[in-house]
Amino acid sequence: MYKGISATLIWSENFRNLGNWYKEKMGLKTIEEINHPDDTGIGFDIGGSYLWIGQHSEVKGKNRDCHRIMFNIAVDSVSKTYAILKKRGVKFYAKPFKAPTFDKYFATFFDLDGNMLQLIGGK
């Protein structure tokens, strides 16, 4: 019945600023940009997955509950990616650490709107 998650959507009061953060800090490439009265935002490719940063009339200000939803971004090396993002000014919540129950590493960080994301991969 289910084929998978087709996209991750992040809504923002200022999608352009948040989209620029994903371009500048994370180095993501724009796939498309839509400017329609009922559908406005920027689509990115993130390792073969689709990430949409869009404008939503019901979203105001920064995220007030950053722990509610988090998505993982698979990387080859959490430590190396952490160092690159840290150098670009990304604010981290947790430095690289080993998962307690399996052989992967994590590092947790925030985007411009205060949404929590996490790197996952090898050391």
Mean pLDDT of 46-62: 93
Note whether 1 and 42 are within 8 A (CB).
no
Collapse the DSSP code of 103 into the 3-class scheme (helix H, G, I; strand E, B; otherwise coil) and give the result. coil
- Judge if 120 and 75 occupy the same domain: yes
| Dihedral sign computed on CA atoms, order 77, 83, 89, 90 | positive
CATH number of the domain enclosing 38: 3.10.180.10
- Judge if 57 and 71 occupy the same domain: no
- Judge if 33 and 70 occupy the same domain: no
With a CB cutoff of 8 Å and minimum separation 6, the contacts of 64 are 114
pLDDT digits (tens, 9 = 90+) for 66-78: 999 999 999 999 9
- Judge if 66 and 122 occupy the same domain: yes
Range(s) of the domain holding residue 94? 62-123
pLDDT digits (tens, 9 = 90+) for 86-114: 999 999 999 999 999 999 999 999 999 99
Note whether 106 and 96 are within 8 A (CB).
yes
Tokens of 120: 């996952």
Mean pLDDT of 29-54: 94
Residue 38 has pLDDT above 90, yes or no: no
Number of residues in the chain: 123
- Judge if 50 and 75 occupy the same domain: no
